[in-house]
Structure 1
Amino acid sequence: MEKDVRKNVFEVYNQVADWFSENRDQGLMEKKYLDEVIAHLNDDSCILDLGCGTGIPILGYFLSRKLNITGLDASSKILSIAKKNFPSTPFIQADMRELSLNKKFDAIIAWHSFFHLPAEDQPAMFGIFEKHLNPGGILLFTSGTIHGEAWGQIGGEKLFHGSLSTEEYQRSLTAHHFSLLKHQVNDPQCGNANIWMAKYTPV
């Protein structure tokens, strides 16, 4: 069972969807990073919130700024809540590892979602990010700092996190034509998150 949970964390979110909706921090400690992304966008830009959860607070913040955003999550229960929260917003149920939307975006946000993938599944995601971004598009994601895995708790259930090393993330970004804009380690103002922001700059 633990192996299955490790590979498919969205199943845990199906189990704790209501708890998560009630207990997820409603504040916007991520705001300064979201604003930095927005500074690279215009009114016609399209954003993909990859692992959008219930849409609160990140997707909702982009909507409050009158931006075009699509939410994507693998958890059907979580998405049902997101659709109730934001009935006019497009949502997609999909595993990010299998993403093939035949559409490009101007920004992809993978905040506290990408890091639920096992380390062995993460390198291939950079090709998926690349495939779904317009030239000049912005990628924002959070990660760990060392290659490995860790377990936490959510709503009484075990919750898996995986990470590459900092050097592996840097190599993956470079290999897929991303220029690093910011790398903040353990931001104390943002829940000690490790944050990456990069710009897609194809040759």
Structure 2
Amino acid sequence: MTPEQVAASYDQIADQWLDVSTYGFAQIERAVGFVKHRGAALDVGCGTGRLMGLLGGHGFRTDGLDVSPAMLALARDRHPDARLFHADICGWELPRSYDLIVAWDSVWHVPLAEQEAVLTKLCRGLSASGVLVFTMGGTDTPDEKQNSYMGPPMYHATLGVPKTLRVLAEAGCVCRHLEYDQYPEGHVYLIAQKLGNDAPPVDDRVRLRPVESGDLPRMYDLQLDPDSNRMAATIPRTREAFDSHWAKSLDDPNITARAILVGGEFIGIISCFPMDGEDHVGYWIDRAHWGKGVASRALHLLLDGVTKRPLVATAATSNEASLRVLQKCGFVVTQVRRDPATDRYPECEVAVHVLR
């Protein structure tokens, strides 16, 4: 069965899920115990919103996702202020990173061929030390089946316990708890946690300071890098344009420009600046330091010091690294548009992000 067919089956029985059953609550509360920061949560397969009250009681701001429009309509009635998404998790991109992701009796409806990609996506969507709790079939090998136990036809699939544990490890997560909680039935729930906070992070060596005039020669050289310009979809400034831009920027009290230092070495800049009546943020980092968490840490530090909101950031949709950084720091995509070419940017598709 396709996800659309599964959605149609759940549409037929949506009203059956309006009860206030506490099924799964104890298992989810066990997972909550591993969460270090109770901020944003995501309920994948939220159905009628049964778990949102539970998660809200633990201090989470919970987003909900479901493929069934009938189930989601009932969730909106129950939780009118919640942010709810009607989408298939196979193709949906997480709008931010989450401290807790719950997928209780939901992702096992994902087609077997998509299971590994979805599980990896959820792991990558966790914040550092974030927790994922989900249910699966407790088989030793991948398996799938279809039945009508609930009335309409339904589909279930599982990677099996050994492969699931491998996928979690490859995605940077460790299993904290695995239990056959309905034994002898093969119903398994698993709690996984993303690693990161206990390693000697580059985070501890990243700091910001105000940009100084002595930084400008290095900044000019960095913005000439061809690979960086391809990634960011930008056109480097000429020496004259660069000098003119930064002469004005360093004298403008409305601009917060910070040098990014790693272990005392200057490796880039990050700034907050007014543009078109909005406050924008942007950064530029030496290519040698890509993929090390520097951008995320620098943006976190900037946001700690810049309290004005909302903040806007744009990134080319082809720039997957920057899209992940922005969303990890809480920015949400509000628009995707096609921008015309200018002397600074080639024509390209950009995603507009907002932090409120």
Q: Same fold (TM over 0.5)?
A: yes
Cα deviation, residue 45, structure 1:
1.3
- For the pair 1:148 / 2:158, whether they are aligned, the reply is no
Partner of 1:183: 178
Question: Comparing 156-165 with 27-36, which one deviates more in the overlay?
Answer: 27-36
Q: Is the 8 A contact 1:52 1:73 kept in 2?
A: yes
Q: Is the 8 A contact 1:150 1:162 kept in 2?
A: yes
- Letter matched to residue 135 of structure 2: T
Label 1:4 to 1:195 Cα distance change in 2 as closer, same or farther (>3 A). closer
| C-alpha distance in structure 2 between counterparts of 1:89 and 1:154, whole Å | 31
Cα deviation, residue 87, structure 1:
1.1
The higher-RCO structure (CA 8 Å, 6+ apart) is: 1
Structure of higher CA gyration radius: 2
| C-alpha distance in structure 1 between counterparts of 2:108 and 2:164, whole Å | 12
Q: Is the 8 A contact 2:147 2:154 kept in 1?
A: yes
Label 1:98 to 1:175 Cα distance change in 2 as closer, same or farther (>3 A). same
Partner of 1:199: 193
Q: Is the 8 A contact 2:44 2:65 kept in 1?
A: yes
What do residues 102-129 of structure 1 show as CA deviations (whole Å, max 9, x unaligned)?
3100011000001111221100012211
- For the pair 1:16 / 2:10, whether they are aligned, the reply is no
- For the pair 1:113 / 2:106, whether they are aligned, the reply is yes
SS at match of 1:87: coil
- For the pair 1:59 / 2:52, whether they are aligned, the reply is yes
| C-alpha distance in structure 2 between counterparts of 1:64 and 1:194, whole Å | 25
What do residues 57-77 of structure 1 show as CA deviations (whole Å, max 9, x unaligned)?
x22211233421111111111
| C-alpha distance in structure 2 between counterparts of 1:154 and 1:101, whole Å | 32
- For the pair 1:158 / 2:153, whether they are aligned, the reply is yes
Q: Is the 8 A contact 1:99 1:128 kept in 2?
A: no
SS at match of 2:62: strand
Partner of 1:78: 71
Question: Comparing 85-94 with 58-67, which one deviates more in the overlay?
Answer: 58-67
Partner of 2:82: 89
C-alpha root-mean-square deviation of aligned residues, in Å? Answer: 2.3
Aligned residues: 195
Q: Is the 8 A contact 1:43 1:67 kept in 2?
A: no
SS at match of 1:29: coil
Moved over 6 A (4+): none
SS at match of 2:93: coil
| C-alpha distance in structure 2 between counterparts of 1:163 and 1:44, whole Å | 29
- Letter matched to residue 34 of structure 1: I
Q: Is the 8 A contact 2:37 2:99 kept in 1?
A: no
Give the share of equivalent positions with the same residue, in percent: 23
| TM-score (normalizing by structure 2) | 0.51
Label 1:15 to 1:154 Cα distance change in 2 as closer, same or farther (>3 A). farther
Cα deviation, residue 16, structure 1:
2.5
What do residues 128-186 of structure 1 show as CA deviations (whole Å, max 9, x unaligned)?
11331101000100000222122333652111111111111011111111111001024
SS at match of 1:97: coil
